[in-house]
Structure 1
Amino acid sequence: MSAFPTEDMEMTRLLVVSDVAASRQWYEEVLGAHVDHEYESACVLRILGGWLLLVPGGPPTEDKPTVTMAPPTDPDRVSAELIFRVRDCRSAYETLRQRGARFLTPPLDRGYEIRAFFRDPDGHLFEISELVA
């Protein structure tokens, strides 16, 4: 029996998007991700030492017979988000905003952290967060 997880394992975050090419461009231009490789209709990106897999929606398959893959239908109902811990939230906010990120609000100082939220073209939620010492 093998251990789980092991040090040689990696984790990939999968996002279902409505247009893989448009999303790839957004992730490259706004977040600075790099295309690692593309196959069929999907795209694998590298960002901050991790993997991000962009895939189109689709019907159930033999190995997931009850699962339909679909991009978010309501961006105000969220079950997951990706968080970037940054050293300077206000600076990251300005950089991302200049690159085309659309934030819900400017950074908010909550006392213990400064944070701001934005979405990708399909409505997936992202957060930039700075810990306040």
Structure 2
Amino acid sequence: MVSDLSKSKPFYTDVLGASIFREYGGDSIVLGFLGNWILLVTKGGPTVDKTNTEFLLPIDKNKVSHAFTIRVKDCQNSYELLKARGAKFITPPSTNGAETRCFFHDPDRHLFEISEYSS
């Protein structure tokens, strides 16, 4: 869920490089990203198929329940590219064993990780 499509759309298209597949009435966008789909929707309450369930934005960017992880071939290169496009990283890439990774947030404080695994 996103709070404002006009703020989120440039992040997902210009920073991450996703492409717009379809937009629906100002409250949702379908994006193509690395051979997959990302659906951005604005606030929505319970529905017949998800009674008593509401989508909420993260309240505190330092307390998360999930992260969107993107596996990359070269974490340092991806970090430099995304940083140049405007992504604000928590730290530069860090290597622990065979994995190199770093984290950033979208405009609504959702946590993203780029991760390289070297075998």
Cα distance in 2, alignment partners of residues 32 and 43 from structure 1: 14
- Matching of residue 123 in structure 1 with residue 113 in structure 2: no
Between the two structures, name the one with larger relative contact order (CA 8 Å, sep ≥ 6).
2
Aligned to 1:23: 8
> If the length of structure 1 is used for normalisation, what is the TM-score?
0.83
Residue of structure 1 aligned with 2:58, choices 58, 69, 72: 72
Moved more, 84-93 or 54-63: 54-63
Q: Residue 102 of structure 2 aligns to which amino acid in structure 1?
A: A
TM-fit CA distance, 1:74: 1.6
Is the Cα contact below 8 Å between 1:116 and 1:129 reproduced in 2?
Answer: yes
Aligned to 1:47: 33
Aligned to 1:103: 89
Aligned to 1:35: 20
Cα distance in 1, alignment partners of residues 30 and 6 from structure 2: 11
Identity of aligned residues (%): 48
Structure 2 residues not aligned, in runs of 5+:
none
Cα distance in 2, alignment partners of residues 54 and 76 from structure 1: 22
> If the length of structure 2 is used for normalisation, what is the TM-score?
0.93
Q: Residue 94 of structure 2 aligns to which amino acid in structure 1?
A: L
Is the Cα contact below 8 Å between 1:56 and 1:70 reproduced in 2?
Answer: no
Structure 1 residues not aligned, in runs of 5+:
1-15
Aligned to 1:56: 42
Q: CA RMSD in A?
A: 1.1
Report which of the two structures shows the higher radius of gyration computed on alpha carbons: 1
TM-fit CA distance, 1:61: 2.5
Please list every run of at least 4 consecutive aligned residues from structure 1 whose deviation after the TM superposition is greater than 4 angstroms. none
